Amino acid sequence: MRKGMQEKASRRPMSVGAHMALGFGVFALAAVALLWVFQIFLLGPFYQAIKTAEAEKTARAVIARLEDQDLELRTRELCLRSGSNITVSDPLGRQYVGWYINTFRDSLIFNLTSREWAELYNQVNLQGGRYTRVFQSRTAGAMELLFYAVTVRTPQGSDRLVVIESELTPLASTVETLLVQLICLTLVLAPLGAFLAVYIPRRLTRPLTEISESAKQLARGDYSVRFEGRGGRETGELAATLNFAAEELSKTEGLRRELLANVSHDLRTPLTMIKGYAEVMRDLPGENSPENIQIIIDEAGRLNDLVNDLLDLSRLEAGVITLEKERFNLTESIRDILTRYDKLADYRFPFSYQEEAWVEGDKLKLSQVVYNLVNNAVNYAGEDKTVSLRQELREGRVRVSVADTGEGIPADKLRDIWERYYKVDREHRRAQVGTGLGLSIVKNVLDLHGGTYGVVSELGKGSTFWFELPREESLPVGH
Ligand code: ADP
């Protein structure tokens, strides 16, 4: 058991902070190491390579002018410009040109004997015509000189030896200065890097840790939690999104609780009535009247409606419903629906339209839409007890509106009423008011049909709910 837990702990991924600190550390180490390698160890070889390239260039310039009249003058210019000794001789050391910088009195070529020149010539040829060497000057202590020699054959066929000799500035003191600098730099950079490697990740991850803590609170059902987005823009945005999610969750949770209360109340009331009336009828033979039976049937019908609404909405929202689409006469089905209200003798349902309109859709579901709208209008109808329906045709679409002259809906609630479970009037008015699911069903069904919908309402004057669907051609006669 213990072992299992330990294994689990060791498999935990590294924190963002640790990742960043590690990255920082590796980068700082690599930077310092590279500085050391280049400035201390490779400085000498680099310098020598550059000097050799310079000598090569000077030698090429001399060779290019070997046949010129002004070779002497040009070589002197080159000697002064490059600061190096330059000689051009034959294989036996007989010099044609020889220019020396003053400080080079102790130079090698200045002191070579004819025999040594001949040997050098051979040596250069043995090396393939090119020869480079670094040596200590004879007189000036530790001074180093770079010796570069090439052999060439002139167009006339005679052999020449071009030698360039230049001073190598001693690097020891430079390296020493750099070393001290590097040590200082390392001493400053190492603690600074370590500090930043700890500080920056901590600064970045602290808001994340806080957000994570708040999210745990949210997960435990505390919707009042607020997310703080300090630190950076991204964390600010994350916090804002989470705050929005928390608000939405809290809203849904509130509605859910309300629905549960409403639904249980709405289920219990008819059940109590059914049970009560049934018991009275069982115990008192005189009470077994058609009116009482009708009450039981009505209450059962109410229960049925409620359960059906709940089922419909959950199916619609789960997206498991498949529409059974057909082309049908919308005007006709509205007329059919209105006949269901015949028993409400004191209400009036004027329906105005110019011609019959056909639509493509699920007839049953769209009838439910009209039914829910009319039902609401009846429930919230005004003194005149009139629910006016109107069907208009506009640019390939058909628009149906259901208007009442009742209490109307406050402007700030117009958006919310389409939410499931939402009721403007929170007090329970069971005799009239439904479950708060009706408009949600309307919205879902119309969305599935690609329809549009809306409401215009004025407090105290009434509300007009409308929806629009694409209009279709009527079916051929006899179909
Ligand atoms: P309910 O079953 O409560 O009517 P609905 O989803 O159909 O649920 O409607 C949601 C809320 O919208 C209602 O509770 C009511 O407050 C408001 N509402 C709907 N239709 C009307 C209307 N015609 N007049 C005034 N208010 C309405």
Confidence of residue 2 (pLDDT cuts 50, 70, 90): very low
Which pLDDT score, from 0 to 100, does residue 54 have? 92
Ligand 1 atom at minimum distance from 380 CA? 24
As a whole number of angstroms, the distance between CA 251 and CA 166 comes to 87
Residue 121 pLDDT > 70 = yes
As a whole number of angstroms, the distance between CA 251 and CA 270 comes to 29
Outline where DSSP puts E strands in 36-94: 84-89
Ligand 1 geometric centre to CA of 411 (Å)? 13
Confidence of residue 428 (pLDDT cuts 50, 70, 90): very low
Residue 364 pLDDT > 80 = yes
Ligand 1 geometric centre to CA of 114 (Å)? 120
Closest CA to 421 of 433, 409, 410, 411: 433
Ligand 1 geometric centre to CA of 435 (Å)? 9
Task: Copy the structure tokens of residue 79.
Answer: 């000697």
Q: Choose which residue among 409, 414, 415, 420 to substitute to test ligand 1 binding: the one with the highest number of ligand atoms within 8 A of its C-beta.
A: 409
Ligand 1 atom at minimum distance from 418 CA? 6
Ligand 1 atom at minimum distance from 423 CA? 14
> What residue has token string 């072992």?
3
Phi, psi of 296 (to 5 degrees): -60, -45
Ligand 1 geometric centre to CA of 418 (Å)? 9
Q: What is the mean pLDDT of residues 331-341?
A: 91
Residue pair 471/358 in contact by the 8 Å Cβ criterion: yes
Residue 296 pLDDT > 50 = yes
Residues with CB under 6 A from ligand 1: 372, 376-377, 380, 404, 406-407, 409, 417, 422-425, 433-440, 463
Q: Choose which residue among 384, 418, 423 to substitute to test ligand 1 binding: the one with the highest number of ligand atoms within 8 A of its C-beta.
A: 423
Ligand 1 atom at minimum distance from 377 CA? 23
* Long-range own/partner contacts, residues 309-316 (CB < 8 A, 24 or more apart): 309/434, 309/435, 309/437, 309/438, 309/441, 310/263, 310/435, 310/437, 312/368, 312/437, 312/441, 313/420, 313/437, 313/440, 313/441, 313/444, 316/441, 316/444, 316/445, 316/448
Q: Give the residue whose CA is nearest to atom 13 of ligand 1.
A: 423
Residue pair 159/118 in contact by the 8 Å Cβ criterion: no
Contacts of 41 (CB under 8 A, 6+ apart): none
Ligand 1 geometric centre to CA of 385 (Å)? 16
What is the per-residue pLDDT across 40-93, written as a single tens digit (0 to 9) for each? 888 888 999 999 999 999 999 999 888 888 888 888 888 888 888 888 988 887
The length of the chain in residues reads 479
Beta bridge partners of 359: 328
Ligand 1 geometric centre to CA of 333 (Å)? 23
Q: Best-predicted range by mean pLDDT among 20-24, 31-35, 158-162, 449-453?
A: 449-453
As a whole number of angstroms, the distance between CA 434 and CA 461 comes to 21
As a whole number of angstroms, the distance between CA 175 and CA 44 comes to 9
As a whole number of angstroms, the distance between CA 463 and CA 6 comes to 66
Q: Give the residue whose CA is nearest to atom 20 of ligand 1.
A: 376
Ligand 1 geometric centre to CA of 351 (Å)? 21
Question: pLDDT exceeding 70 applies to what percent of the chain?
Answer: 92
Q: Give the residue whose CA is nearest to atom 3 of ligand 1.
A: 436
Closest CA to 444 of 275, 316, 278: 316
pTM: 0.51
Question: pLDDT exceeding 90 applies to what percent of the chain?
Answer: 27
Residue pair 404/425 in contact by the 8 Å Cβ criterion: no
Ligand 1 geometric centre to CA of 407 (Å)? 11
Ligand 1 geometric centre to CA of 415 (Å)? 12
As a whole number of angstroms, the distance between CA 65 and CA 58 comes to 11
Q: Choose which residue among 418, 439, 464 to substitute to test ligand 1 binding: the one with the highest number of ligand atoms within 8 A of its C-beta.
A: 439
Ligand 1 geometric centre to CA of 382 (Å)? 14
Ligand 1 atom at minimum distance from 402 CA? 23
As a whole number of angstroms, the distance between CA 237 and CA 245 comes to 12
Residue 385 pLDDT > 70 = yes
Q: Choose which residue among 370, 376, 405, 430 to substitute to test ligand 1 binding: the one with the highest number of ligand atoms within 8 A of its C-beta.
A: 376
CA angle 285/289/291 to nearest 5° reads 150
What is the per-residue pLDDT across 130-187, written as a single tens digit (0 to 9) for each? 999 888 776 656 678 888 999 998 888 888 899 998 888 878 788 888 889 888 988 8
As a whole number of angstroms, the distance between CA 438 and CA 440 comes to 5
Q: Give the residue whose CA is nearest to atom 19 of ligand 1.
A: 376
Ligand 1 geometric centre to CA of 376 (Å)? 6
Ligand 1 geometric centre to CA of 417 (Å)? 7
Mean of all residue pLDDT scores within the chain = 84
Q: Give the residue whose CA is nearest to atom 1 of ligand 1.
A: 436
Which pLDDT score, from 0 to 100, does residue 426 have? 56
Beta bridge partners of 386: 348
Task: Copy the structure tokens of residue 207.
Answer: 């808001």
